[in-house]
């Protein structure tokens, strides 16, 4: 009997400690949430450079363009140095997803030290007008310690929130990678023999793509494109902005991508044209302007992805090697964003 009583006391004592740990953790999360929201509110104010990344995905989900999906994901990040290399880490993510004229609002609080998910909040409205809300609280290891729902029919669970956080963090990491994500053989950095017919085909594709891009940009709805904007600047440098545009015909086939990097005294613009059905790179263009000097590069590629024509006013020519790496990276980012 005494043994049983001791066991029960141990169990009760353990339960009390666990409850205290849980309460302490939730208090920590709420404090971190309040601080993160304050930082978000002050982002880019009081003369400081903004530090955020916004991803806007416009996707038509049927052939008539009647069902319109729009997703906006905004990352707020800090930047620190690790082994003398600047490292960006998001601490707060806001997602807004619109479909059928309903908006889903989603927040994720991340630990700024290791980017682990601490808290997630999701709110949406059904077609019948019912509001669905969910809150998830996690411990330091990522284990769920508390969840709150206003209805039994929630649209997510603790595991799906973690999976979504991983995907969002992957996108952030890929967009802000310091090195190329992809690799190709160095024999790609040489010139091969081309033909006039291929050159004519590429120029025709380019004209068609630019026309489609102009029409897409002019639409308010019913378009298929991804716009990524990164705004950042250190304490001792002027603000920098990087804009990425990805235009696509379906969830697997982007046909045109552009990139624009600019800051005080610096401006770089690049384009990537893909074969619509195969997503193989057929043409790339880049222009760099710094200290009133402008350099341009145009590379044309054959069916095997090898450069056969170069037009440039610069001495440094790599026959499209770096552009092919960048194009492959963009395809990886696009596929990650289009995961369902």
Instruction: Convert the pLDDT of each residue in 227-247 to its tens digit.
Output: 999 998 665 667 889 999 999
Distance from C-alpha of 88 to C-alpha of 108, rounded to nearest angstrom:
17
Q: Which residues pair with 289 in a beta bridge?
A: 267, 294
Beta strands 266-274; 102-110: pairing state: unpaired
Sole residue written with tokens 């494109």 = 225
- Integer CA distances (angstroms), 179 to 173, 184, 280, 325, 326, in order: 11, 14, 22, 10, 10
Model pTM above 0.95: no
Find, among 82, 86, 60, the residue nearest to 71 by Cα.
60
Could you give the angle at which helices 158-175 and 321-337 cross, rounded to 10 degrees? 160
Position with higher pLDDT, 103 vs 56: 56
Question: Could you read off the pLDDT of 126-148 as tens digits, one per residue?
Answer: 777 789 999 999 999 999 999 99
- Average model confidence (pLDDT) across the chain: 88
- Look up residue 186 and give its DSSP letter: G
Annotate 264-283 with three-state secondary structure: CCEEEEEEEEECCCCCCEEE
The C-alpha R_g of the chain, in whole angstroms, comes to 25
Structure tokens at 180: 């190329």
Q: How far apart are the first and last CA of the chain?
A: 57
Distance between CA atoms of residues 319 and 298, nearest Å = 9
What pLDDT, on the 0 to 100 scale, is given for residue 292? 78
pLDDT of 56 above 80: yes
Separation between Cα atoms, residue 196 and residue 275, nearest integer Å: 17
Query: How far, in Å, CA of 303 to CA of 198, rounded?
Result: 9
């Amino acid at each position: 009997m005494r043994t049983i009583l001791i066991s029960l006391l141990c169990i009760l004592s353990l339960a009390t400690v666990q409850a205290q740990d849980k309460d302490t953790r939730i208090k920590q999360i709420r404090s971190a949430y309040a601080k993160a929201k304050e930082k978000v509110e002050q982002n880019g104010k009081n003369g400081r450079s903004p530090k955020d990344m916004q991803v806007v995905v416009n996707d038509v989900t049927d052939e008539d363009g009647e069902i319109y999906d729009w997703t906006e994901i905004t990352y707020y990040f800090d930047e620190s140095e690790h082994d003398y290399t600047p490292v960006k880490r998001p601490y707060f993510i806001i997602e807004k997803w619109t479909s059928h004229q309903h908006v889903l609002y989603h927040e994720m609080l991340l630990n700024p030290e290791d980017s682990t998910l601490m808290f997630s909040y999701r709110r949406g409205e059904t077609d019948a007008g019912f509001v669905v809300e969910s809150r998830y609280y996690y411990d330091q290891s990522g284990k769920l310690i508390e969840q709150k729902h206003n209805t039994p029919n929630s649209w997510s669970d603790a595991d799906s929130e973690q999976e979504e956080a991983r995907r969002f963090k992957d996108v952030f990491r890929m967009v802000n990678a310091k090195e190329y994500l992809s690799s190709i053989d160095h024999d790609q950095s040489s010139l091969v023999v081309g033909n006039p017919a291929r050159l004519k085909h590429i120029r025709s594709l380019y004209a068609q793509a630019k026309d489609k891009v102009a029409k897409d940009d002019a639409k308010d709805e019913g378009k298929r494109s991804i716009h990524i904007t990164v705004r950042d600047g250190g304490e001792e440098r002027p603000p920098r902005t990087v804009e990425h545009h990805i235009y696509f015909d379906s969830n697997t086939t982007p046909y045109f991508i552009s990139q624009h990097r600019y800051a005080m005294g610096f401006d770089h613009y690049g384009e990537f044209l893909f074969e619509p059905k195969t997503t193989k790179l057929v043409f790339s263009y880049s222009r760099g302007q710094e200290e009133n000097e402008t350099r341009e590069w145009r590379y044309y590629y054959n069916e095997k992805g090898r450069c056969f024509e170069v037009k440039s006013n610069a001495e440094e020519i790599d026959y499209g090697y770096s552009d092919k790496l960048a194009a492959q990276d963009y395809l990886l980012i696009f596929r990650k964003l289009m995961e369902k």
